[in-house]
Amino acid sequence: MNTLIDAKDLTKNYGKKTAVDHISFSIEGGHIIGLLGPNGSGKTTLIKMLNGLLTPTSGTLYYKGNPIGVESKKHISYLPDHTYLNMNQRVSDVISYFKDFFDDFDENRAYDMLKKLQINPSDRLKTMSKGTKEKVQLILVMSRRADLYILDEPIAGVDPAARDYILDIILSNYDPDASILISTHLIADIENILDEVIFIKNGQICLSSSVDDIREKEGKSIDTLFREVFKC
């Protein structure tokens, strides 16, 4: 068994507010996992801890048996929920930067994806639509040959017609032994690609299961179950 992430009793407090509350889970290689929950449920805080951007208040968090840190960042490719790129740069400049910064970055893969999506590498980011910028950012993330891809709301900023393109980028560009963790509230758009789901509510995991088990035991789609669990 290839355990990539192992979290035990993980907690993150902001002052008196608990954003992630004593959660335990693991991520094995070769799976696509949906991290599902409404806004404010703790998804982004958890993702930032997985990427070493936040330090847990308590609990343990390991990547392949070692604490999350400098080494894990070499193997985890992260798409944040906001654009962090320099808008004055051309796409080709950003690709060069990623190639220099990440040993596992595949420049040919990046240019191939840009071509498929008809994005000109000479264009400056500031001239692009929000949706095109997000496609560029996803291409950069998926062009790394990582063990784990963590994608925070990868389809939230693009129009419904473009979501299939985004999902195709995700599915076509990762090693079968790698895993993808997708955080989203747009369940219906992605549930067909998921192997497992983690429902997070008020900073706690309220469901962790394979998609097949849910459909077999509950007799309903992930989207329908999500709406039932999180209804107001």
Q: Hey, where are the domains in the chain? A: 3-229
Q: Is 159 or 116 the better-scoring residue by pLDDT?
A: 116
> Could you report the per-residue pLDDT of 139-157, keeping only the tens digit for each?
999 999 999 999 998 887 7
pLDDT band (50, 70, 90) for residue 165 = confident
**pLDDT single digits (tens) 195-226:** 999 999 999 999 999 999 998 998 989 999 98
Cα 126 to chain centroid distance, Å, stands at 24
Residue 119: per-residue pLDDT: 94
Average pLDDT value for residue range 1-26: 94
The CATH number assigned to the domain with range 3-229 reads 3.40.50.300
Long-range pairs for 206-212: beta carbons < 8 A, 24 or more residues apart: 208/25
Question: For 60-66, what is the mean pLDDT?
Answer: 95
Answer whether residue 112 shows pLDDT above 70.
yes
pLDDT reading at 87 higher than 70: yes
Structure pTM?
Answer: 0.92
pLDDT score of 154: 86
pLDDT tens digits for range 169-181:
788 877 888 999 9
Residue 1 is predicted with a pLDDT of: 65
Strands (E), the chain: 3-14, 17-28, 32-36, 58-63, 66-67, 76-79, 148-152, 179-184, 196-201, 204-210
If you average pLDDT over residues 88-99, what whole number do you get? 94
Please check the confidence at residue 232 and state whether its pLDDT lies above 80: no
Q: How far is CA 99 from the centre of its chain?
A: 21
Q: In the prediction, which pLDDT does 103 show?
A: 93
Q: Which residues contact 177 (CB under 8 A, 6 or more apart)?
A: 2, 29, 30, 147
Please state the rounded mean pLDDT for residues 107-119: 92
* pLDDT above 90: percentage of residues in the chain: 66
Averaged pLDDT of the chain: 91
What is the mean predicted confidence (pLDDT) over 42-49? Answer: 94
